[in-house]
Amino acid sequence: MVIDGQEPLILTAYHVIRDATKVYVRLPGGKGSYADIHAADPRSDLAVLRLVSRNLPPQKAIKFGHGERVQQGQFVISLANPYAAGFREGRPSASWGILSNIRQRAASWPGDEEEDPRDPKALYLHGTLLQTDAKLNLGCSGGVLLNLSGEMIGLTTARAAISGSETAGGFAVPLDGAMKRIIDRLREGVEVEYGFLGVTSPAKATGGVRISAPIPGSPASRAGLQVNDVIESINGVPLREADDLYLTIATTLAGSEATLVVRGRPTPVTVTLAKSHVRGKIIVSKKPPEVRGIRVDYTSALFLQQDRRAAFFGRQEIHPGVVVREVDSRAAMLLKVNDVITHIKIRDTDVAVNSPAEFYREAAKVGASEPLQLTLLNTEWHRGAPPKVTIP
């Protein structure tokens, strides 16, 4: 589905292009072009392609509707290519029906039922899908679900049918505010950095979600959340079950502030979210900026990637600082991937950095002709006092 006619950019489902080495997009009128994968995100099952041919007629981008305003029983129209029917001419097949239900879950595989903060499940397993009785067979993934005004309210997917055991399901990923934020990131060609709060074993409670012990060093821990706290809402979104908490936090995105209403507290709790882990291969065309050959990430992302037997550096906590994500030859003798940087020296002061944004902001204050002086976390590789490194 064309979402930017100038580039042009195509929105499709991640599982349609997963493991692809070449992608060809057929357009109406028999025209077509090979496409690069501009950005792809397995957790949302969304991907954006960029057409490489410049000899194409102008493409009209589809108009986005409001997937959060849809109602059960409203009429919808689907446009998709079941089993590649009409591929030669690039003509999709149309069908119509009603929205049978909203906030539906895809059938899950064994092991998908429980959310593990270190290996969070895909968004479509959190009850986000639109269900329609419009005919959507296998092969319809990446099509469009329209309202009667011709606005896109969902991206059709056969993912639910693939994991189910009965009939091909008519499902679509809704184009609500959360998904639009994700699509905006993919349109930019950058990674979708999902939010992370750091609470464990949330369970349904009357009028909210009850949490177990927050992970030490997590945003939840730093905000003072405690065992058995009941979170009633996040950013005005009421919580009815654990899935609501995970979904709202994830789609608020890392680095954003989340306002939590906690039962028994006179004022809301404001938390700056860290970054969650994403299962599967992420594809981006624009990487974060680098400083002296270094790219960094949230330490929460490193913590969540550790094996369950061996937590972050052997300790069950998330440390402050930023983790080295990439390092080139200029700094390779001094730093390595997974080193944690806690401070940057600005003039005569060691300034703490606890997010990539803070690191890049503070590093920009160091002139190009000045050495970059960093303090590293004391780990099993660096014993004694926190080591200092200086990068010319």
Tens of pLDDT along 174-229? 999 999 999 999 999 999 999 999 998 889 999 999 998 899 999 999 999 999 99
Distance (Å, whole) CA 193 – CA 195: 7
- Which residues are within 8 A (CB) of 226 and not within 5 positions of it... i.e. 6 or more apart? 214
Name the helix (H) or strand (E) containing 24. strand 23-26
Please work out, in degrees rounded to the nearest 5, the angle formed at the alpha carbon of residue 336 by the alpha carbons of 333 and 342.
110
Alpha-carbon distance of 40 to 11, in angstroms, equals 10
Task: Reduce the DSSP state of residue 65 to 3 states and report it.
Answer: coil
Q: Which two tokens stand for residue 184?
A: 């905006």
Give the count of beta carbons closer than 10 Å to the beta carbon of residue 168.
Answer: 17
Distance of CA 125 to the CA centre of its chain: 14
Interior CA angle at 196 toward 103 and 264, to 5°?
Answer: 80
Higher-confidence position of 229 and 387:
229
As a whole-number percent, the residues of the chain with pLDDT over 70 amount to 87
pLDDT of residue 302: 84
pLDDT at 275 over 70: yes
pLDDT score of 154 more than 80:
yes
333 Rama sector, left if φ>0, alpha if ψ -120 to 50, beta otherwise: alpha
Q: Which range (52-56, 59-63, 77-81, 311-315) has the least confidence?
A: 311-315
Q: Judge whether 137 and 74 are in contact, CB under 8 Å.
A: no
State the average pLDDT over residues 294-303.
92
Q: How far apart are CA 13 and CA 143, in angstroms?
A: 9
Tell me the mean pLDDT in the region 247-254. Answer: 95
User: Three-state DSSP class for 39?
Assistant: strand
| Better-scored residue on pLDDT, 78 or 127 | 78
- Sorted by where each starts, the structural domains of the chain and their CATH numbers stand as 2-51 (2.40.10.10), 67-188 (2.40.10.10), 195-275 (2.30.42.10), 288-391 (2.30.42.10)
